[in-house]
């Protein structure tokens, strides 16, 4: 695994949120997903900054949707994991799991 | 429909970069709208504000730390791909605009070169006069006599030196020297060579190195030590053909055989001649014999290197403290104090101040230079606006263009700095040559690497800064302008225009300040050079003769020798007049004592100016062409019979006998040794410039018969046509005819020596005049540049006016008026600055008021004229605007 594929904590959260949301991941949903599941307040700026960094590492990619078919409808910037992003996510989570194995922490999850 | 808080939205837009911004804002808006429904408008707005505030930091970090952040990209471009390309392009554009590039290179070279040179001189003369390790801790030790009025400094007595040496922790090293003139016999021709007796410690102190052989060892300085000598490189080259075999040979010095043990390096000699170790040239050294315990013969000058961390003031205090203990040790010297002097104190205050004025001058030139370069770059930038517009329109990055501008200026500045390095070397050498006699301290001067480094760094900073100024203008250039028609918008930057005009005003003001200072100094120099020396200088040559010690000890034999030579010379064809004297103006001796006038009260005259004295032969006044105002010269009998007679000058006559009757009166000279016999005044001669051309008007001058104190050395004053060599050979022939072992010393034109006496003033005037000229040239260039720029900016307006029927004259007038306003303002400021800085110049001027009206007027007039010329040149450019072309562009 190349070093640049290594994920920081918040990056991992964002990646997991994108993964969970499947096709529906964009700024709003990612922010809400992390906030709801992790129970930690998240600013939209942090989400975007992290997405930018992940995109720079080629772990996520953007796809701008065509505007919603309502008046004043916006286009959304959807996020999805690249194959490389998926690989990095698997690597990071399995690493985490292996580290937690056989510790009292492993039973709580 | 509720709106998101505008300020917050704006702030976020500012913080986020373009690609993040749109998504982020639209997402926030989407959530905001949902929240308006669930939490109401106020709740939603509060949420939005919270989001915005908390997003700031992550967004900023993302924006500026990301790998492809704009500044990182710019840096990469600058460092890699761009650098090489930019350099190539810069060289092309350098060659493409030769005139401009040459001007930039020259201004840089001149400014930085001159700055480095003058700083190096100041550094070597004032800040670091003795460039050897520990040189800043060198002092000279004196004994200051406690006499009334004048308190002369004399070398300390040997007992004092020994007492000081025994005191721990003051002096690290002590040495002594005395200047001397030797008679060197190489082959059969005797030559007179200046040199010194030095203790071996002196050579240690100056960290001297031998070119060949060795230096003196402590054994050489024992009283019964071997007779050895050191040559210096110059003498070795001239008289020994740089033969290494000269070392080990014997030479005859003052009639005694000495072994040459080595050759002193040129640098060592430079240090010895740099003013601290006396001001005489030193071509030959012999050991100064001590008593083996560190005490040197009376009369030797004592120098010392202080212990590290000790200042001259602290050393002085330490010596003052032990004074009470030292005084009883020394018989016969009760009324004295120790005095520690630094090399800086040895320099005149006025000279030091003069050098700072020069530094100021250089600083001003540098300022003008900077302003000028800025102007030039701006002007060129405007000329190239179209090029940049096209390149921007074709997709060139602004950073690239800015980088390229920097690169171009760096190349120009780099060449300029190279030029400056050479120029600084030449200028320092030139200054050393010009001032070698006036300021012995410059003899050890060389380009100071630190000064050069400072100037180069300053230069590079200036270059980068000024190439960035046009680069800052880049964003104002609209790529569309090149393709569309809104080039005229360029005109609208009032702020930039004001900056240009202030640059011109500043340059003119500073240039005027320099010109006025240069004018004052030149004026003062001209006045000095046109001073009437009081005798006929033209064609008067002086040939000095120094008699070896141990021979001609009998005063009568000396007198006979000089008189015989004069007698023989008088008989030769081609000799118009000849005489001899102890001293030759402007190197006449100082105070002979106070003067007591017979039959007058007060008896002792406390004259404010020290008097000058000389011992002269009967023919002296005839030879120098000074007519007798009253009375007569000495007669031969008066000289040979040692009669008590004296000749005074006009000032003395006026001062002591305001109603006349000087001739026939009697005076007494009262010195430390007591009063002289009563001397009868036999003649009154005009005042002559005894010490230098700027000598005080009313100095009392006393002439005694040459027999009175028969000198060990004297000089023949001879008029024998226009050739110095003829005079020398005539004197030489006659002397050799009488005594073949006698060498003649220096030969010089008295007029040259007098002119040389104002070498310091000449040096200062020359420097400031070159600064002034440089300053005006630069300022003219600046005026021209800025006005040309304004013409370019106004070309549309001018074109339209021409099309509407304005004449060329009207256009010229408007441009000239515009320039004139700036120049007049600059001149006014410059004039005020000149008047304010006048007190700084007082010490440097002779016979000229620092607020001298004609000089001020001439300076202002000159600067105005030069400025006008520059405005007319740029106005001609304005009338060259083609209205058809301008209107077509519309």
Query: What tens digit of pLDDT does each residue of B505-547 get?
Result: 888 898 899 899 889 988 888 888 888 888 888 889 998 887 7
Mutate to test the interface with B, among A45, A60, A61, A71 (most CBs of B within 10 A): A45
| B404 min Cα distance to partner chain A (Å) | 29
pLDDT band for B5, please (50, 70, 90 cuts).
confident
| B475 min Cα distance to partner chain A (Å) | 28
Place of tokens 């180069």: B456
Query: Interior CA angle at A88 toward A86 and A91, to 5°?
Result: 110
Structure-token pair, residue A69: 């078919």
Residue B406 and residue B801: Cα distance in Å, rounded?
A: 38
* pLDDT score of B84: 64
Packing angle between helix B724-738 and helix B555-570, nearest 10 degrees?
A: 130
Q: Please determine, for residue B482, whether its predicted confidence score (pLDDT) is greater than 50.
A: no
Q: Report chain B's mean pLDDT, rounded to a whole number.
A: 80
Q: Which residues of B touch A75 (CB under 8 A)?
A: 26
Query: Which 8-state DSSP code applies to residue B124?
Result: I
Structure-token pair, residue A21: 């949301």
Residue A57 and residue A63: Cα distance in Å, rounded?
A: 16
Structure-token pair, residue B742: 């006698």
Residue A27 and residue B643: Cα distance in Å, rounded?
A: 120
Q: Which residues of B touch A53 (CB under 8 A)?
A: 62, 66
Q: Which residue has the higher pLDDT, B432 or B252?
A: B252
What percent of chain A is predicted at pLDDT more than 90? 22
What letters, b where the CB count within 10 A reaches 16 and e where it falls short, cover A47-83? Answer: bbbbbbbbbebebbeeeeeeeeeeeeebebbbbbbee
* pLDDT score of B485: 45
Nearest CA in chain A to B63: A49
Structure-token pair, residue A96: 């985490």
Q: State mean pLDDT over B376-390.
A: 71
Top-confidence range, B110-124, B286-300, B497-511, B816-830:
B816-830
Q: Please determine, for residue B302, whether its predicted confidence score (pLDDT) is greater than 80.
A: yes
Residue B597 and residue B667: Cα distance in Å, rounded?
A: 5
**CB contact, 8 Å: B69 with chain A?**
no
Q: Which residues of B touch A28 (CB under 8 A)?
A: 27, 30-31
Mutate to test the interface with A, among B58, B59, B63 (most CBs of A within 10 A): B58
Q: Which residues of A touch B57 (CB under 8 A)?
A: 45
| CB–CB contact A45 B58 (8 Å) | yes
Q: Which residue has the higher pLDDT, A19 or B11?
A: A19
Closest CA to B613 of B638, B580, B591: B591
* pLDDT score of B218: 83
Query: Which 8-state DSSP code applies to residue B136?
Result: G
* pLDDT score of B647: 93
Q: Which residue has the higher pLDDT, B405 or B140?
A: B140
Burial of B150 (0-12, 13-18, 19+ CB in 10 A): exposed
Name the residue facing A52 among B22, B51, B62 (closest C-beta).
B62
Residue B186 and residue B284: Cα distance in Å, rounded?
A: 13
Query: B602: cis peptide before it, omega within 30°?
Result: yes
pLDDT band for B497, please (50, 70, 90 cuts).
low
Specify the pairing of strand B612-616 against strand B701-705: parallel
Task: Give the number of C-alpha atoms closer than 13 A to the C-alpha of residue B430, restricted to the C-beta side.
Answer: 13
DSSP string, B260-303: EEEEE-HHHHHHHTSBTTBSS---EEEE----SSS---TT-EEE
Q: State mean pLDDT over B578-606.
A: 74
Summarised one tens digit per residue, pLDDT across range B36-54 is: 888 888 889 999 999 888 8
Mutate to test the interface with A, among B9, B13, B23 (most CBs of A within 10 A): B23
Specify the pairing of strand B284-287 against strand B228-232: antiparallel
Query: Which 8-state DSSP code applies to residue A102?
Result: T
| CB–CB contact A56 B66 (8 Å) | yes
Rg (CA), chain B: 38
What letters, b where the CB count within 10 A reaches 16 and e where it falls short, cover B383-406? Answer: ebbeebbebbbeeeebbbbbbbbb
Name the residue facing A43 among B54, B62, B67 (closest C-beta).
B54
> What stretches of B738-839 adopt beta strand conformation (E)?
744-749
| CB–CB contact A52 B51 (8 Å) | no
Residue B122 and residue B857: Cα distance in Å, rounded?
A: 31
Summarised one tens digit per residue, pLDDT across range B146-159 is: 654 445 677 888 88
* pLDDT score of B680: 92
Q: State mean pLDDT over B735-742.
A: 83
| B395 min Cα distance to partner chain A (Å) | 24
**CB contact, 8 Å: B12 with chain A?**
yes
What percent of chain B is predicted at pLDDT more than 70? 84
Percent helix, strand and coil across chain B, each rounded to 5?
Answer: 55, 15, 25
Q: State mean pLDDT over B810-822.
A: 85
Count of beta carbons in the 10 Å neighbourhood of residue B632:
13
Q: Which residue has the higher pLDDT, B881 or B817?
A: B817
pLDDT band for B127, please (50, 70, 90 cuts).
low
Structure-token pair, residue B47: 């949420």
| CB–CB contact A44 B56 (8 Å) | no
Structure-token pair, residue B344: 């800086």
Handedness of CA B857, B859, B863, B869 (dihedral sign): positive
**CB contact, 8 Å: B15 with chain A?**
yes
| B26 min Cα distance to partner chain A (Å) | 7
| CB–CB contact A48 B66 (8 Å) | no
| CB–CB contact B67 A56 (8 Å) | yes
Query: Interior CA angle at B53 toward B50 and B58, to 5°?
Result: 125
**CB contact, 8 Å: B31 with chain A?**
yes
* pLDDT score of B346: 63
| CB–CB contact B58 A27 (8 Å) | no
Q: Which residues of A touch B26 (CB under 8 A)?
A: 74-77
Summarised one tens digit per residue, pLDDT across range B12-43 is: 887 887 777 788 888 888 888 888 888 888 88
Q: State mean pLDDT over B686-709.
A: 80
Contact residues, chain A to chain B, C-beta under 8 Å:
26-28, 31-32, 41, 43-46, 48-50, 52-53, 56, 62, 74-77
pLDDT band for B601, please (50, 70, 90 cuts).
low
Q: Which residues of B touch A62 (CB under 8 A)?
A: 23
Residue B28 and residue B47: Cα distance in Å, rounded?
A: 10
**CB contact, 8 Å: B55 with chain A?**
yes
Residue B619 and residue B476: Cα distance in Å, rounded?
A: 85
Quote the ipTM score: 0.83
Q: State mean pLDDT over B245-259.
A: 86
| CB–CB contact A27 B27 (8 Å) | yes
| B20 min Cα distance to partner chain A (Å) | 7
pTM beyond 0.80: the answer is no
Nearest CA in chain B to A28: B27
Nearest CA in chain A to B19: A52
Burial of B68 (0-12, 13-18, 19+ CB in 10 A): exposed
pLDDT band for B731, please (50, 70, 90 cuts).
confident
* pLDDT score of B484: 46
Summarised one tens digit per residue, pLDDT across range B785-794 is: 777 777 777 7
Residue B238 and residue B250: Cα distance in Å, rounded?
A: 17
Residue B381 and residue B373: Cα distance in Å, rounded?
A: 12
Q: State mean pLDDT over B162-187.
A: 83
Name the residue facing B27 among A26, A50, A53 (closest C-beta).
A26
**CB contact, 8 Å: B14 with chain A?**
no
Q: Which residues of A touch B30 (CB under 8 A)?
A: 28, 74
Q: Please determine, for residue B654, whether its predicted confidence score (pLDDT) is greater than 70.
A: yes
Distances B796 to B485, B789, B799, B873 between C-alpha atoms, Å? 12, 13, 5, 19
Mutate to test the interface with B, among A11, A28, A36, A43 (most CBs of B within 10 A): A43
Name the residue facing B31 among A28, A75, A76 (closest C-beta).
A28
Q: How far is CA A99 from the centre of its chain?
A: 21
């Amino acid at each position: 695994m190349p070093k640049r594929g290594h994920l920081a904590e918040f990056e991992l959260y964002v990646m997991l949120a994108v993964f969970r949301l499947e096709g529906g991941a964009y700024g709003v949903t990612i922010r809400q997903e992390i906030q709801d599941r992790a129970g930690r307040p998240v600013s939209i700026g942090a989400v975007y900054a992290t997405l930018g960094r992940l995109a720079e590492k080629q772990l996520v990619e953007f796809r701008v949707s065509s505007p919603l078919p309502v008046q004043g409808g916006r286009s959304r910037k959807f996020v999805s994991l690249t194959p490389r992003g998926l690989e990095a996510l698997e690597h990071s989570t399995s690493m985490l799991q292996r580290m937690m194995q056989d510790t009292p922490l492993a039973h709580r999850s | 429909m509720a709106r998101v808080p505008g300020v917050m939205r704006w702030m976020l837009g500012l913080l986020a970069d373009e690609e993040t911004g749109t998504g982020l804002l639209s997402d926030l808006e989407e959530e905001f709208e949902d929240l308006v429904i669930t939490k109401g408008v106020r709740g939603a707005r509060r949420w939005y504000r919270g989001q915005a505030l908390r997003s700031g930091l992550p967004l900023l970090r993302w924006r500026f730390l990301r790998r492809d952040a704009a500044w990182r990209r710019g840096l990469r471009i600058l460092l890699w791909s761009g650098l090489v390309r930019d350099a190539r392009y810069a060289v092309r554009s350098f060659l493409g605009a030769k005139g401009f590039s040459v001007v930039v290179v020259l201004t840089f070279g001149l400014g930085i070169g001159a700055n480095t040179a003058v700083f190096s001189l100041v550094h070597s003369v004032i800040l670091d006069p003795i460039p050897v390790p520990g040189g800043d801790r060198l002092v000279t030790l004196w004994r200051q006599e406690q006499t009334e009025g004048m308190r002369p400094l004399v070398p300390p007595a040997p007992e004092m030196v020994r007492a000081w040496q025994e005191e721990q922790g003051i002096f690290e090293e002590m040495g002594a020297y005395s200047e001397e003139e030797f008679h060197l016999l190489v082959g059969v021709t005797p030559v007179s060579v200046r040199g010194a007796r030095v203790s071996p410690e002196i050579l240690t102190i100056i960290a001297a190195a031998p070119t060949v052989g060795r230096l003196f060892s402590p054994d050489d300085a024992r009283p019964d030590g071997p007779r050895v000598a050191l040559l210096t490189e110059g003498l070795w080259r001239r008289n020994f053909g740089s033969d290494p075999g000269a070392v080990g040979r014997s030479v005859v010095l003052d009639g005694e055989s000495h072994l040459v043990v080595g050759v002193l390096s040129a640098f060592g000699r430079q240090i010895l001649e740099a003013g601290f170790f006396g001001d005489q040239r030193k071509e030959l050294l012999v050991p100064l014999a001590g008593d083996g315990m560190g005490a040197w013969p009376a009369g030797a000058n004592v120098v010392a290197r202080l212990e590290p961390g000790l200042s001259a003031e602290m050393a002085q205090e330490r010596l003052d403290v032990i004074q009470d203990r030292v005084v009883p040790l020394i018989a016969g010297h009760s009324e004295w104090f120790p005095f520690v002097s630094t090399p800086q104190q040895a320099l005149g205050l006025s000279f030091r101040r003069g050098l700072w004025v020069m530094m100021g001058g250089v600083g001003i030139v540098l300022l003008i230079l900077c302003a000028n370069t800025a102007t030039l770059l701006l002007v060129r930038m405007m000329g190239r606006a179209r090029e940049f517009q096209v390149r921007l329109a074709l997709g060139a990055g602004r950073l690239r263009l800015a980088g390229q501008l920097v690169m171009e200026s760096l190349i120009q500045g780099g060449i300029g700095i190279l030029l400056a390095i050479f120029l600084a070397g030449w200028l320092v050498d030139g200054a050393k040559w010009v001032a070698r006699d006036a300021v012995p301290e410059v003899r050890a001067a060389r380009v100071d690497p630190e000064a050069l480094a400072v100037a180069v760094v300053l230069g590079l900073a200036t270059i980068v800064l000024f190439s960035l100024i046009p680069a800052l203008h880049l964003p104002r250039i609209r790529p569309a302008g090149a393709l569309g028609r809104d080039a005229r918008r360029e005109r609208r930057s009032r702020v930039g225009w004001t900056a240009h005009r202030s640059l011109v005003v500043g340059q003119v003001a500073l240039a005027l300040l320099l010109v006025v200072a240069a004018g004052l100094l030149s004026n003062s120099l001209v006045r000095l050079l046109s001073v009437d020396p009081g005798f006929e200088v033209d064609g008067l040559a002086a040939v000095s003769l120094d008699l070896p010690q141990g021979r001609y000890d009998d005063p009568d034999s000396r007198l006979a020798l000089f008189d015989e030579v004069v007698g023989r010379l008088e008989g030769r064809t081609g000799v118009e007049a000849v005489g001899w004297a102890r001293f030759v103006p402007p190197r006449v001796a100082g105070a002979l004592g106070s003067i007591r006038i017979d039959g007058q009260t007060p008896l002792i005259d406390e004259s404010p100016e020290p008097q000058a004295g000389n011992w002269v032969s009967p023919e002296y006044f005839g030879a120098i062409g000074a007519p007798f105002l009253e009375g007569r010269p000495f007669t031969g009998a008066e000289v040979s019979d040692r009669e008590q007679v004296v000749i005074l000058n006009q000032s003395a006559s006026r001062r002591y006998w305001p109603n006349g009757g000087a001739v026939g009166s009697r005076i007494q000279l009262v010195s430390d040794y007591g009063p002289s016999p009563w001397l009868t005044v036999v003649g009154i001669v005009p005042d002559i410039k005894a010490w230098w051309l700027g000598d005080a008007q009313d100095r009392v001058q006393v002439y005694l018969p040459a027999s009175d104190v028969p000198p060990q050395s004297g000089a023949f004053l001879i008029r024998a046509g226009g050739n110095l060599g003829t005079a020398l050979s005539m004197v030489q022939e006659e002397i050799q005819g009488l005594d073949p072992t006698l060498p003649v010393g220096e030969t010089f034109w008295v007029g040259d020596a007098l002119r040389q006496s104002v070498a310091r003033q000449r040096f200062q005037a020359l420097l400031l005049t070159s600064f002034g000229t440089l300053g005006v040239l630069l300022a003219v260039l600046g005026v021209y540049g800025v006005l040309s720029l304004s013409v370019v900016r106004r070309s549309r307006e001018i074109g339209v006016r021409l099309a509407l029927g304005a004449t060329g004259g009207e256009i010229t007038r408007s441009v000239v008026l515009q320039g004139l306003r700036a120049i007049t303002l600059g001149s006014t400021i410059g004039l005020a600055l000149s008047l304010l800085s006048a007190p700084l110049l007082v010490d440097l001027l002779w016979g000229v008021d620092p607020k001298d009206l004609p000089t001020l007027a001439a300076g202002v007039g000159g600067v105005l004229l030069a400025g006008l010329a520059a405005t007319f040149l740029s106005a001609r450019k304005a009338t060259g605007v083609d209205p058809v072309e301008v209107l077509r562009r519309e």
